[in-house]
Amino acid sequence: MTHNRTDLLDLRADLVSRVHKFGPVLAEGAAQGERERRLPDATVRAIDESQVSRVWTARSYGGLEADVRTMSEVAKALSHHCPSTSWVVNNINGSNLLAAKFPLAARDEVFGADPGAKLASVFAATGTAVRADGGFLLTGSWPYATGILHDDWVILVAREVDAAGEPVGGLSLLVPAADLTIEDTWHTVGMRATGSHTVVLRDTFVPAHRVIPAEVQRGRENATDTTLPPLLRTAAIAAMGVVCASVVVGIGQAALAHVVDKAPGRGIAPSKYTSQPGSQTFVSALGGTALTLDAADLHVTRAAGVIDEAAHAAAGLPENELRRIRGDVGQAVNLVTVALDELMWAHGAAAFAESNPLQQYWRDANTAARHALLNPRVGRELYGGAFFGLDLVVPSL
């Protein structure tokens, strides 16, 4: 049975409440996650117990089957406590949604015995697949497998090649995490705890029921299928872009809250101001920064609403809307990075102390904002091109 609108609002509020209930656990683990470049075990347990990794899992498998706006709000709330946790949870949910494109046998294998199954996905086609009896042999290495240290399955994209090594086409393959070798390659200044390492396979057999054409994985043919619930009609790639941007927006909101909270007790060196709100310059600048963050939030909220309305109505999103959504998410993260620079100036040099959460917010947001889905320059070109009917510069929206 599909959620009605009231049920979705109640679920959304409940999930955000759950995030804040487990928030102290996530925040307490943030420093350990930074050091170890992985989420602490207590954080992973909190993810499982709160069920925030099931937001985009089908109800038929025990998932919550919520919408894009709900996942966006969950991501923003998680970012207040631990941005890396938010990014991992976002990636799990996006990957779980992508898994819905695989045949029933594959979905039963993944979710049938474990409604809380967690997936990763990497969509750079850096591997090759060779047809074998009953399936394919998969070989390659795939970087940036977010959350793979804690996931059960991974979706990988590869080029199918024939016996002579000639390309045949693209494939999307579903592989158990137990089959992978994980190379420790995630050494970054931001989003360190996501553990987005490289995964490696060598002549690993993947049965045919866990393989689909890459164009089917990226396609939106399900958009008008009224036999499916709205979540499974959702434009998945666009939805993942919105939620990635929501992680960044949540970080900006958390940074603003920190600056506001600390401002009364901080002066402005070398001026006579002993409390920052006593300076009209500070107050005015902070108001402008808050409006910038509000604008970023409005962009992701608009994009989420457009995707959800189309999915609810079983109406495919037109290309110009998909282009604008890519523009929305790019603009949102660009605005957040600008706002974070302003907040670092507002708080002062203490913002760069290792003990100050602002410097981690700044590093994490700037790292996440550079994700390929969120590139603001590409988003602007896509959106601008829509006014003139120009060809897509990105093949899959």
Q: Quote the pLDDT of residue 63.
A: 97
Tell me which of 250 and 162 has the higher pLDDT: 250
Q: Quote the pLDDT of residue 397.
A: 87
Q: Quote the pLDDT of residue 157.
A: 97
pLDDT digits (tens, 9 = 90+) for 351-378: 999 999 999 999 999 999 999 999 999 9
Tokens (6 digits) for 210: 């866990």
pLDDT digits (tens, 9 = 90+) for 200-250: 999 999 999 999 999 999 999 999 999 999 999 999 999 999 999 999 999
**Whether domain 230-386 has CATH 1.20.140.10:** yes
- Burial class of residue 273, CB neighbours in 10 A (0-12, 13-18, 19+): middle
User: Where exactly does CATH 2.40.110.10 map onto the chain?
Assistant: 119-213
CB–CB of 122/155 below 8 Å? Answer: yes
CB–CB of 139/106 below 8 Å? Answer: no
State the residue for tokens 């590093």.
363
Q: Look at residue 163 and tell me whether its pLDDT is greater than 90.
A: no
> Given 3.10.129.10, 3.30.420.40, 1.10.540.10, 3.30.10.20, which CATH number is that of 5-114?
1.10.540.10
pTM of the model: 0.96
**Whether domain 119-213 has CATH 2.40.110.10:** yes
User: Where exactly does CATH 1.10.540.10 map onto the chain?
Assistant: 5-114
DSSP of 286-337, one letter per residue? HHHHHHHHHHHHHHHHHHHHHHHHHHHHT-PPPHHHHHHHHHHHHHHHHHHH
- The percent of residues in the chain predicted with pLDDT above 90, rounded, is 95
pLDDT digits (tens, 9 = 90+) for 308-317: 999 999 999 9
Mean pLDDT of 13-39: 97
CB–CB of 55/74 below 8 Å? Answer: yes
Mean pLDDT of 169-173: 97
